[in-house]
Amino acid sequence: AQSVTQPDIHITVSEGASLELRCNYSYGATPYLFWYVQSPGQGLQLLLKYFSGDTLVQGIKGFEAEFKRSQSSFNLRKPSVHWSDAAEYFCAVGPYGGATNKLIFGTGTLLAVQP
At its nearest, how many Å lie between other proteins and the CB of residue 14? 26
The 40-79 site mask, x for binding other proteins (CB under 8 A), equals --xxx-x--x-x----------------------------
The window from 17-25, 55-63, 71-79, 91-99 that contacts other proteins (CB under 8 A) reads: 91-99
Size of the site for other proteins (CB under 8 A): 23
Rounded to whole angstroms, how far apart are CA atoms 84 and 5?
25
Cα–Cα separations (whole angstroms), residue 28 to 24, 82, 114 = 13, 36, 39
Least separation in angstroms between residue 62's CB and other proteins is 20
Angle at 68 between CA 109 and CA 31, to 5 degrees: 80
CA distance 39 to 57: 22
